[in-house]
Structure 1
Amino acid sequence: MTRRKIMFLFITCSFLLMAACSKQTEDQQVQDSVAANTDDQEVTEENGGDNFPTAAQTIEELMEQPPGTLVEEFMDPDIEASRTVNFVHYLRFYEDTFKSVVENDLPGYFKEHPEADADHVYNYLVYTLGSGQYKKYYEQLKDFDHGYIMPELPDGEDEIKRAKAQKTNIVVLMDASGSMKAEIQGETMMDLAKDAIDQFTSGLDDTVNIALFAYGHKGKGTEADRQLSCASIDNLYPLNAYNEESFHEALNSFQASGWTPLAGAMEKAREYLSDYDREQYRNIIYIVSDGVETCGGDPMKAAKRLHDSQIEAKVNIIGFDVDDEGQNQLKQVAEAGGGQYATVRNQSEFEEVLIHKWQPSRMQVITQQGVKLQDSVWKMEELIDLYGRLTNLATRESQRITDAASFLRNEGYISDEAADEVIETAKQQQEMRNTHFEELKNQKNDEAEAAKEEIDEAVNEWKEEWSGVLE
């Protein structure tokens, strides 16, 4: 075969192959288009030809429900989710402002859809008036932790006497990495953390010594100054009794800035406390952080060295608005350090953990009393508040839909039958949601009560056994 014929055959085959590939691509595009049109048709046919989602029917679907278009545009989330004791805050806004927004907006749509059935009407009203805040509060309710922890109960006369005689040293390690600049409700996490620590330290007994370190507070968080930032671990308030003016000055001497040398900060604390052995001192490390190690250290190893050393320090960590990955790491670090971990999302939770749960006292051993009444009250208030927020959202959404359906019926935009069915559906959905929320709340309450009873029983038995030594 001549070279010209070979070249001709090669070109011909190439064209045929390209044509076949093009045909396959066109066929796939047609198939994709048909599939997409079919999916769109399923959505639009359910809602009279309009492309908006079907309303949530289950708790799982409810968690993914976006805010209604009118709610998102015209209603402040804090107003919609206002606490029950502040119900008038929501009611005034709803009656004075929001209802007129709804009554001005809805007629335009239903003039174009005069034959809308009840399902169509209900879906559209949820689309415009539904709450998008369920997931936020539901996840907090699911994650609710009573926080009751079995106290340390020294075993034996010698241990009790040692615990009574011990002085307490506290070292606070403040994460000053750049991410602490993030804001929560208009204030930076750094400022909120400083306020909580200031309150915590001001309430310490005179016999408790406090030291303050900041870490990651130099540099600008860039790769160029990473080494500088990771090496910046400074003692800003030397171990001593609390002095308001000096401690406040130390807190205000740094700002959120660079990287996160968490392991390095714990190593520095171990060195700093090396002369305070566990026989005479109770050494506690409090770490405030919003994320994981970013300087290449091993924080679990550092925490274990702290706890296993002759100072036997306990490492307690507060994770401030930390993501799942960060929570897992920080919890493991606290466990390796023989301490506790708590996640907080705002200043009130921060203060509760530091001031109400973790604040040490020289009288702690002598006056052990299980779960304190005030701790129990605070936790139940927190649980009831989360539950109340969810039921308020469900009730208020149902009322918005009910009022809108009544308005549309009175104005002749929907039939009596459609309005009645929409109102009944809204009522049933509200009852279903509130029943589920109540069951979850009761479950969390039962868990808290069981833990409280267990702790109280253990403490009472311990006090009875060692009453002579405790006197």
Structure 2
Amino acid sequence: MKKRSTLYLLVLLLLLGACSAEKEESNQKEEDQKKEEVVEEQQKAEEGTDPVEEVVDEELVARERPENLEEIVQFPIGVLGSEDTNLGNGSVEEVLNEIPALPEDASDKELQNLTNYLYSVFKMPYEDPKVSIEESSLNKPEKAEELASKEQYNVEIVLDASGSMANYMGSKTRMDLAKESIEEFASTLPEDVNLSLRVYGHEGSGSDADKKMSCAAIELVYESQTYNESELSSALDSFQPAGWTPLAQSIKEAKKDLSKYSGEEHKNVVYIVSDGIETCDGDPVAAAKELKVSGISPVVNVIGFDLAGKDEQQLKDIAKAADGSYVNVNNQNQLNNELNKTVNESLKWISWQSSETLDAIVKKSNEVIDMIAMENDWKNNLRKERNITTQSVYSLQYDDKISNEQAKKMVANVDEYYDKHNESIEELSTILMELSEENLDKTLDEIDKLYDENVQN
């Protein structure tokens, strides 16, 4: 089974990082094409013409389209990359109207630049397939007597309410999605679990003039108590995203909030949900270290909300300093899963073996559902991009900005591109399904082994 799993993973890595050889060949062709274009431009220069200015505006020479699934995820979302974009939208017509006409002798490179530009305009958001590439794992249980001494579970959520949380993810703001997830999470907690909610950066604005006030805006809006639907709802309605990001001080305040709960007698869990880095001159990594070594001994989970690059690195460092975990989520379902994960895995067990077995089976089912959803989402997005790009090409032809022959070349290129990526996501989904099946078997074996070693003894 190990050999098969390794083989699958190798194939998977080849899929995600594919096309390197193809790129070399493409680069060579591009070099040859550039040489031809240099000669062509020199000839036209002698005739007093500038092909770049006459053929394509420099802004339309877009970056190359991504060549594999990983690059598609990282490629910026287009200004019109949404589900309701269609050719009848005024925004689409405005973009197409700004595109200058191409001459009949436009080069293949110029046609490619125009195709790339259309892709960059309509490119939609994609969930990273690597989110699904996780081997099923099992938290080893503590000894029975240690679990019995954990009298109370206390959960605190430290939520970013800075101005960037007003940015949209689909049809809702990040803040709206976060609030909905917190409400759903709280409603599923066992009756004896305490929950508290602290927010930061929810006053003032992002201006320098408001920095001091905004950085001081750190508030415990829902004090530690069992779930109360109306009180939590009122607390969540009491703030909106506004200003700066005092992340370090918020972590320090969370430590104070939980200081009354000794780690020896309580299970303390801290969630830090943020879509940005510290902007109030604090040191959140140092604050995370202090939180970890405090007497509350918390389990720390850092959740990055739609992050990338240097912003994500700071949150990773915070999680590492607190000996906790970090994950970046890109949609509400992932946020819901991460909020539920730690508490559910940390609860006292009854009939540990049967419950863990059930969890493994449920996880396998959820993985399958997630993989099917991921594949369908990718295919739907690819289809929408393909349709709007093709329609745009024909619209340019109808407006006499490109010829019939040029339109045919561009449409053929678009069809080839999307056929290729449809095949890639189908193959990836098949491999993930097979890995998930093997991981379930492995997890069930581990459950039995841990039960025999730790529970029966």
Question: Taking structure 2 as the reference length, what is the TM-score of the superposition?
Answer: 0.68
**Shift of the alpha carbon at 1:389?**
3.5
SS in 1 for 2:456: helix
Stretch moving more, 267-276 or 241-250: 267-276
Q: What is the DSSP-based 3-state SS (H/G/I as helix, E as strand, rest coil) of the residue aligned with 1:170?
A: strand
Match of 1:352 among 312, 320, 337: 337
Q: CA deviation at 1:190?
A: 2.3
Question: 1:362 & 1:257 partners in 2: Cα distance?
Answer: 35
Unaligned stretches of 5+ residues in structure 1? 1-33, 81-92
CA distance in 1, matches of 2:375, 2:412: 27
Per the alignment, residue 189 of structure 1 pairs with 174
Does the Cα contact within 8 Å between 2:278 and 2:284 map onto a contact in 1? Answer: yes
Out of 178, 200, 203, the position equivalent to 1:215 is: 200
**Aligned-residue CA RMSD (Å):** 4.8
The list of structure 1 runs, each at least 4 consecutive aligned residues, that deviate by more than 6 angstroms after superposition, is 44-47, 54-58, 64-68, 401-408, 418-423
Q: Structure 1, residues 137-192: CA drift from partner, whole Å, max 9, x if none?
A: 2xx33553446663431254434544xx5421001112222332333335332232
User: Which one of the candidate residues 436, 439, 448 is aligned to 1:460?
Assistant: 448
Seen in structure 2, the aligned counterparts of structure 1 residues 438 and 421 have a Cα distance that, compared at 3 Å, is: same
Pair 50,353 (structure 1): closer, same or farther in 2 beyond 3 Å: same
| Alignment match, 2:137 | 150
Partner SS, residue 153 of structure 1: coil
Q: Give the letter for the 1:259 counterpart.
A: W
In structure 1, what residue type is equivalent to 2:339? Answer: L
- Letter of the aligned partner of 1:78 in structure 2? E
Whole-angstrom distance in 2 between the partners of 1:78 and 1:387:
12
1:9-24 aligned at under 5 Å gives the runs none
- Specify whether residues 233 and 401 from structure 1 end up closer, same or farther in structure 2 by C-alpha distance, changes over 3 A only: closer
Alignment partner of 1:342: what SS? strand
Q: Is the 8 A contact 1:172 1:287 kept in 2?
A: yes
Report if the CA contact (8 A) 2:124-2:385 is conserved.
no
Residue of structure 1 in register with 2:9 after alignment: none
Q: Is the 8 A contact 1:405 1:422 kept in 2?
A: no
Give yes or no for the alignment of 1:252 onto 2:237. yes
Count, aligned residues: 400
The equivalent residue for 1:29 is none
Q: Does 1:141 align with 2:141?
A: no
Q: Among all aligned residue pairs of Structure 1 and Structure 2, give the percentage whose two residues are the same amino acid.
A: 28
Correspondences of 1:430-441 after superposition (within 5 Å) = 430-441=418-429
3-state DSSP class of the match of 1:316? Answer: strand
The residue type equivalent to 2:284 in the other structure is P
1:104-148 CA distance string (max 9 Å, x none): 99xx969x74x889x5997598479757445742xx335534466
* Structure 1 residue 238, shift from structure 2 partner: 1.9
Distance 1:65 1:192 in 2: 23
Q: Does 1:392 align with 2:379?
A: no
Do residues 266 (structure 1) and 251 (structure 2) align?
yes
Which of the pair has more CA radius of gyration? 1
CA contact (8 A) 1:134 1:393 kept: no
Tell me the CA shift for residue 283 of structure 1: 0.2
Query: How much has 1:374 moved relative to structure 2?
Result: 4.4
Of 30, 49, 67 in structure 2, the residue corresponding to residue 59 of structure 1 is 67
8 Å Cα contact 2:118-2:389 kept in structure 1: no
Alpha-carbon distance between aligned partners in 1 of 2:230 and 2:338, rounded to the nearest angstrom:
24
Distance of aligned partners of 1:116 and 1:265 in 2 relative to their CA distance in 1, 3 Å threshold: closer
Change (3 A) 1:67 1:397: farther
The alignment's TM-score, normalised by the length of structure 1, stands at: 0.67
Cα distance in structure 1, aligned partners of 2:240 and 2:145 = 45
For residues 228-283 of structure 1, what are the alpha-carbon distances to aligned partners after superposition, in whole Å with 9 as ceiling and x for unaligned? 43333322222111111112122222232333222222222222222322232110
* Unmatched 5+ stretches in structure 2: 1-37
Residue 28 of structure 1 corresponds to which residue in structure 2? none
Distance, in Å, in 2 between the alignment partners of 1:451 and 1:39 is 63
